[in-house]
């Protein structure tokens, strides 16, 4: 919960390696486009974490974790070059 409230990486920057059509939108991210993932904003989104400014370790019990999108908690990044 502390890493959700105070992520060590406030943002993650990624480069698009091939054209990507965003599902459900008329948007294509072209190769070499840069994408900023706002980790702090995701971790404080009340639609994902109700009462986001309240410290609540129970958010990370197995049932609640399973109900969330897997990318809703990424304090260290994600993918093959994750920082830890």
Percentage of the chain with pLDDT > 90? 87
Taking the CA atoms of residue 65, residue 23, residue 76 and residue 17 in that order, the dihedral angle to the nearest 10 degrees is 150
d(C-alpha 48, C-alpha 20), whole Å: 25
Residue 5: band (very low, low, confident or very high) from pLDDT cuts 50, 70, 90: very high
Tokens of residue 22, six digits: 């965003």
Residue 84: band (very low, low, confident or very high) from pLDDT cuts 50, 70, 90: low
- Give mean pLDDT, residues 20-41: 96
Position 81 pLDDT exceeds 80: no
pLDDT of 77 reads 84
Ligand-binding site membership of 83 (annotated): yes
pLDDT of 79 reads 75
Query: Does residue 11 contact residue 79 with C-beta atoms inside 8 Å?
Result: no
């Amino acid at each position: 919960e502390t890493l959700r409230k105070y992520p060590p990486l406030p943002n993650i920057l990624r480069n698009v390696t091939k054209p990507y059509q965003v599902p459900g939108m008329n948007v294509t991210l072209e190769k070499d486009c840069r994408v900023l993932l706002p980790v702090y904003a995701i971790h404080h989104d009340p639609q994902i974490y109700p009462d986001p400014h309240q410290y609540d370790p129970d958010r990370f019990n197995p049932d609640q974790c399973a109900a969330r999108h897997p990318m809703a908690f990424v304090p260290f990044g994600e993918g093959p070059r994750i920082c830890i």
